[in-house]
Structures are given as structure tokens and as C-alpha cells.
Amino acid sequence: MSKMDHSSSSRMKELALDKYRNYINLDQPFIWKSNRLDLDELHKIAYQLLKYFMKEYSEANSHHAPDDDYLNDMPLSQKTSHLRQLLTIRHPAEYNKIPDNIQQLLDIFLQNQIDPNEIQSAASLPRVNQLFSNNNDPFFSKIALWRGDITRLACDAIVNAGNTGLLGCFQPTHLCIDNVIHAQAGPQMRADCFTIMNKLKLNTESVGSAKITRAYNLSSRYVIHTVGPEINDHHGNHSISSGRSPTKNEMAELASCYISCLELASLVGLKSIAFCSISTGIFSFPQDKAAEIAIHTVREWLNVNRTNTSIELVIFNVFKPNNEVFYIEQFERIAGTRVNILDNHRTLNRETKTDIDVAIEWLKSSNSLLIAAAAGLSASAGLDYTSEKLVKDLYPGLYKAGFRTLYSTFGGGMSDELQWGYLFSQVHNVRYNWPPSTVYQQLKQIALSFNDNRFFIITTNADGMFERNDFPVENRLYTMQGDYSMIQCLRPCSNNSVWPVRKYFEAAYPYVDKKTQLLTDKTKLPRCPQCGGKMFLNVRAGDWFLSTPYDQQAKQYNTWLTNSIQQANAANRLLVILEIGVGFNTPSVLRWPMESLAERHKNIRLIRINVDHSEIPTHLVTGQKGVSLSMDATKAIQLLWQGFFNK
């Protein structure tokens, strides 16, 4: 990598700190309120905030605002989610300034989303030089690698990987770091970014440049916003699966992001700065190359500026273990040796032992067990709906037709012959022939230790994995999103136009080409026996979905839940929810209801297993009613199984 002019006048001009610094009160400290609220107080404030911002949005968009009772009855996690969504889409140019009393309530509410025990002090982070024996490279003494939530990192500045608009992401369902940081900081930070763009008369922020604001309700003091390069697919769209290598110009742009952030931090006199993995999310920059550029650029800059910078610590923040590995490999190349494995385990990996121990203790002392399972559990058994390799291996015809994941098949774009060739192949592979897996078998052993009908399964998975693994599911299973073993009228022509799929499958599957996934005999396309219309598997893939086959399951679940709560209260024992692989695709179906149960009932505990989104609302953590296991379901269930049975 060639050296760059780190102190060029053009870069200083682009940073333009003096032209906006005073307009956003950059040097005025933002003082946190000290209020720690109980659950009732959080509910009241969330209701007030949601009512204000919902009314504001409804008036601006000519929508009818929801009834007060509807807002008040929401569980706190749902109130919080709706509030964050309203703030995400709120553009400072389109709305009036937030009243001071509302802003003060919002600050208190956002600050209560962070458990003080979750805050990681930058000063206490181990330096990378501790990972190597007899290595005196001065660079390593100024570097830390930390895996965790960057919004919980107490340092001078964290780096936000934004977009060229610099105002944050306006898509409420995006879980990009831009959204995560803005959501916790609060709307003042977006207002500051808006002021910067106006004062500098910018329509877009340049790739590779940076701007700084206060961090407000984050754990850091400042946020430095930078825009990294996008790796585009052949159609000019950014795509995580684009697969191409970055150009020399894109690599230089990424290096420029790091240099601009370091220059800006140094101008403000900051001592510590934490970098996220810029451009490696939806912007699709390869993670290994991004780590190489990040480390070598920072190393070169610190070397050139070692006598004229305030920066004493640079933190590379990662969120996933596989991203962490790329940084470790680069450190090893520089050091010329492998890291000390013991030190690596102690200093780099987030501590999960305490949460595992708590989860095991809850399971052992519980009276009943509710298993709430979603796609993450099936993925741990090999059925990963986000896996490109799975589609390529199982369904080469689909792959050739441009479908890269099983999720992408729900978007349409298939002929009837390809659609039913794939669906019947999926029924054959998944519903009838998927092999038993260790994760389900260990989960079953835990469940079966709860005798006398004291466990129940509620799942959004339609794949039949619990039956395939011989769970005793009679009167204990609610498949709320449907079942691959059923087929329905797509119209539908009646509330009862649902039938077992077996007859249709056996008639058609022999005519499915295993290479192309095409159903070669059109006469085998299923037709509704009542109206002659088109059919589809009985899964919730549209508003045509018929839930009637699962009404009895829903009644059984509600009866079991009511009885189990009463029994737990009477015996003063726990009802444990073991939630596995439930993300944010449809949080109102499982995720929020499980949080609500733990929130409303004193003897319910929530164990959340999710490799990407294990976060639990702060009020459940501080109330010792929820723990998060940020790991793959296979590993988490194995640890729980070992601890539960004292293996």
C-alpha cells in the first residue's frame, strides 16, 4: 500500500471543522441525566413519547393516529421498537424542532436503554501487544481489538459508517450500524449532521471524508461520521453477494476514511477512537481486505504522526467472531508469529460464561419450559435460508435461474413449473427426509426432562424439524406460520380449503427434473379440488394464508401457557422461555411477545439465543429476567445441555 500525504491541505479543507464546529456546539459537553427508571416509569415515558411522535407523523402524513388504549397496552419492547422506527424516518427538514420537555424525556428513555454494567471502558481494554510474547512493536501498544456493541463503548469517539447523505439511514427495518448508532444517540445527532450539511452547502458527503458530532445518548463522547466505498454488482447496485474484488480506487477510498477520522480526532484533541469495520456491511467490501487496509493504514498514520497527535489508543471494533479473525490474522503477519491462544481467549472473546451459568441455573430451577424457535434453529441444523451454497447444492436449477437463497424464492418471478418443482423438492428434502441433528436431539433431551406436559413448542418454522427429530409434539406444538405438510387454495375459496400435501406431492414429484427443478408434466400442477384455482403450500407467505389448521394448536398453547404461569406462581418456581434463532424479520410474531411475557410475569425468565441479534431490552437485563447468548444455536444448546445434565 503506497504512502499517502496525511496532512495535505486538501484533506484539511474537506474536513472543514472550523466551518461548522460552533454551529453544533461541538465543544459543549452533553451531560447525561442520572435517572434510572423502573419498569412502570419506562412504560409511562415510552407511552408519552410514542403518543407525541405518532401524532406528529400522523399529522404530517394525513394518517389516523392510533387510539391511546392501543399505544398504552403495547409491551415495552414493542413501544421501544415503534418509537425507534418513527425517529428513524424523521427528517429534520420536514418537522419542527422537538420541544424541550419531549427531548428531555427522550434522552432519559434512551439512556435507560443502556445498562451501566454493559458499558465497556476503553481504558480497561487489553492492548494487542499482550497477545504476543516478546514483541516490542510500538504500534501494538496503541491498538485494542474488541468484539461487542459499539454503542456500549466508553471512549472519546466511535466511528459511524454512514452514507453520502450523512443523515443516517431512513429505513426503519435496516439493522445497519448507521441505524444502530443514530437510534441510540437520538435525533439531536441527526440534527447536527443536517446543520453541517447546510452550513457547508453540501448535497452529499464525499467518500473517504469525515465529519464529527457529539454522541449524545451513546456511551462515547463523540461520533465521527465517514462514508466508505460501495462495492457494486454488475447492475450498479450494492449487493453483499456481489463477489467482485475492490478496485485500487475503492481501496484508496477506504484508506482515506481511516485517515480522515484520525485527522479529525487529532484536530479535536481526542485520545481514543474506535473504528467499526467500515464498508463491510451492505456496502459489501470484502472483510479480509477491509481489515488489512484498516490495520495498515492506521499503523502507517500513527508512525508518521507519532510526535504530533493526541491519539493514544485506536480500537478496532467487530461484532462477529468471523470478522475478528481477519484482524487477528493481520496482527500475526505484522508480528511474524501466532497469538498466544490463552491470551487470545481471555482478551478478545466476549465473556459468555456468566450468562450460560445463569441460563443453566434457570433451567434447573424451572417448573415449565417454553421453546420459542425460528429460522436460526433450523439454520443450525443445516437448513439455512440465507445460504447461497445450500441453494447451489440442493437446487441447481434455481441457482441457475438467479435465486441465491431460499428467502429469495418468496419474491416470485418463477414459472408455475419451476415454482412447483422447487416446492415439491423442498417438501421432499426438508419435510420428509431431512436427517436428525445433534442440536435438536440435545434440545429434545432437555425438553423431555420436564415431565407431565410441562414443555411446549411455539415456532415460526414450517419445516417439521421437531417431528423429524421425534419430539413428542401431540398437544405440545404450535406451528403458527404454517406447515410444509399442508397445501391450500391460493384464492382461497373457503376458510377450510386446506389439505395434506402428500397426495399432490406423490403425484407430481416423480416428474420433477432433479437438475433443473422443473415440473415436466403440467397436468401435475396442483389445483384446488373445490374451485379449480391455483394452490400453494399452507405457509404464511401472503394475506391469502389460511390459519384454520392451526387454530386448535393456538388454543392448546394458550391453555398450556395460562396453566403453566399459574403453576409456576403457586410453586414459586420459574417458567423459562428458551428462545432460539428469533430475529427481526417478523418481531411481532415471536420476539416481542416473548419479551412481553417476561416483562409482565414475575416468574418468567427469557433465554435468548441468537448469533446476530441476541440483545435483550435493558429493563429485562437489569431486572435479572433475561440473558442473551450471542452464539450459534448448536453451540448454545450444547453448553446448556452439558450444564443441565452435568456432562
Binding-site residue numbers for Zn(2+) are 489, 493, 528, 531
- Give the separation between CA 180 and CA 176, rounded to whole angstroms: 6
Distance from the Cα of residue 630 to its chain's centroid = 11
**Does a cis peptide bond (omega within 30 degrees of 0) precede residue 246?**
no
- Give the separation between CA 243 and CA 389, rounded to whole angstroms: 14
Closest CA relative to residue 299, chosen from 606, 6, 90, 79: 6
Annotated binding-site members: 489, 493, 528, 531
- Give the separation between CA 559 and CA 101, rounded to whole angstroms: 44
The DSSP result for 92-149, as a single string, is TTTSPPPPHHHHHHHHHHHHTTS-GGGPEEGGGSPPGGGGSTT---TTGGGEEEEES-
**What count of Cα atoms within 13 Å lies in the side-chain half-sphere of residue 80?**
21
- Give the separation between CA 279 and CA 281, rounded to whole angstroms: 6
296 sits in which H/E element: helix 287-304
CA angle, 427 as apex, 423 and 433 as ends, to 5°? Answer: 145
Alpha helices in 305-387 (DSSP H): 321-335, 341-348, 353-364, 375-380
List the grid coordinates of 385.
Answer: 435460508
* Gyration radius of the chain over CA positions: 27
**What count of Cα atoms within 13 Å lies in the side-chain half-sphere of residue 317?**
23
- Torsion region of 604: left, alpha or beta (phi above 0 gives left; psi -120 to 50 gives alpha): beta
Distance from the Cα of residue 577 to its chain's centroid = 20
- Give the separation between CA 147 and CA 192, rounded to whole angstroms: 29
Closest CA relative to residue 149, chosen from 172, 120, 123, 178: 120
* Helix, strand, coil tally for the chain in percent (to 5): 45, 15, 40
List the grid coordinates of 11.
Answer: 484533506
List the grid coordinates of 352.
Answer: 459468555
CB distance 138 to 243 below 8 Å: no
The DSSP result for 550-606, as a single string, is GHHHHHHHHHHHHHHHHHHHHHT-EEEEEEES--SSSTTTTHHHHHHHHHH-TTEEE
CB distance 532 to 486 below 8 Å: no
- Give the separation between CA 5 and CA 75, rounded to whole angstroms: 54
The strand pair at 498-500 and 482-489 is best described as antiparallel
